Copies of this chain bind each other. A is one copy, B any other.
Amino acid sequence: MLKITRKVEYALIALSQMQLKGNKSLTSVKEISQQNGIPYELLAKTMQLLARAEIVEAVKGPHGGYRLKKDPSIIKMTTFFEIIEGPMGFMDCSFDTDCDQIQSCAIRTPIQRINDSIRNMFNNISLQDITMLS
């Protein structure tokens, strides 16, 4: 419980390596997957999510790859998680469907509090805070 997924993990590894190389040079999926022992296909799909969300810019063809497009310090971790896991994949209340019943709304409270705490925390942490080296 309360674990992040491999996709998030792999994306963070990729981004921190790209930051190392600066935001002009390109980094390919092959490069990152080989250097870190990450499954190529899974990393590839994850990078595609980042590209669609314009966190990263893709260059196709030989000597292609990805480079940073947005400044990681302006991206909230909540946004980042939602890009990778989808808006629903992340901490939604499992009692939503019962929520017409008054009872259920009462019992929702503790879980709400936990989710709010987590969401609030990651709203105040940027991608840069997590991927920076120092």
Interfacial residues, chain A to chain B (CB-CB below 8 A): 1-6, 8-9, 12-13, 16, 35-37, 77, 81, 85, 89-91, 94, 98, 103-104, 107, 109-111, 113-114, 117-118, 121, 125, 129-131, 133
Contacts and interface: CB of A to CB of B under 8 A. Distances in A.
Contacts of A131: 110
A121 B125 contact: no
A3 B4 contact: no
Contact of A98 (B5, B35, B37, B85): B37
Copies of this subunit: 2
B107 A130 contact: no
Question: Among A35, A89, A91, A114, which residue has the most Cβ atoms of chain B within 10 A?
Answer: A114
